[in-house]
Amino acid sequence: MPSPAVKLGLFVNGESPTAVSQVASSLGVTAQVMNVCAYDNYTQFTFPPGAGYQLMLCVGALTPAQATSIGENLVSEGYPNTIIRIMWEPNGNWFPWGSQALTAPEYITAYRAAEEAFAAVPGNQFEYVWDLSAGFVTPGRSEFDTYPGNAYVTNIGFDWYDYNASTKTGVTVSAIPPILTFAADHGKPVSIDEWAMNGVDDPAFVNYVASVVRSPYDRVTFQVYFDYGPSSLTSLPRAKAAYSKDFG
């Protein structure tokens, strides 16, 4: 069993607390973290009070004013301990702040400005995740070249999908040790911010994630399963059984 200190989270269709509770119940697990995303190019956020979960909020390339507005809203609505994932997956080339759009210095400058604005919001207890897409490196760049610095990061996180239906060879496993080493070298705990099956009914992948979560050396503080579309465990019976056993 994973340590109780490792929080379990879910991203579900609709991003509603009720839906999270329903999915968690169907999987036989207790969720503490709910993954939600800002809208309008990831720059605005509103959420009704009373979710009952710690939020992990994905935000994009915010101006300081936008970060201040979102942060004040979070505190006023009762989410002062939100985990904020600023401009996630910057080593990819699919978001407007990705490696195809921003140089490493440009990304770092934007990240730091947003973090400083969030951190200045009165009453906040925010945490900040710098998050990578595991195993993706743009030619001519480093996987870690956008690291904004220890002062701006609470957790080093990563997103991890079972693309090749194998936990023994290939990117699924080989991508992870460098991130864990990087986090350890910087004295930071780890979070698995998104992980999912990607349509593959592969219980071995679930078991491997659980082994990373259990390892005291990797200092994982939370993990969030992306239960959506082809990754929904409802349609993947062997993976669902493994997930319920490993995390229930």
Tell me, yes or no, whether 81 lies in a domain. yes
pLDDT, residue 1, reads 47
pLDDT tens, residue by residue, 8-33: 999 998 888 999 999 999 999 999 99
| 3-state DSSP assignment of residue 86 | strand
Tell me, yes or no, whether 1 lies in a domain. no
Amino acid at 140: G
Token reading at 5:
């200190």
How many structural domains does the chain have?
Answer: 1
Nearest one of 217, 222, 224 to 243, comparing CA atoms: 224
Tell me, yes or no, whether 67 lies in a domain. yes
pLDDT, residue 169, reads 39
Tell me, yes or no, whether 2 lies in a domain. no
Confidence (pTM) = 0.93
Q: Any idea of the CA torsion for 233, 236, 242, 246, to the nearest 10 degrees? A: -10
- DSSP code of 70? H
pLDDT, residue 49, reads 62
DSSP letter string, 201-239: --HHHHHHHHHHHH-TTTTEEEEEEEESGGG-GGG-HHH
Q: What is the CATH number of the domain that holds 207?
A: 3.20.20.80
Low-confidence residues of the chain, pLDDT below 50?
Answer: 1-4, 165, 167-171
Q: Residue 195: which domain range?
A: 7-247
Tell me, yes or no, whether 111 lies in a domain. yes
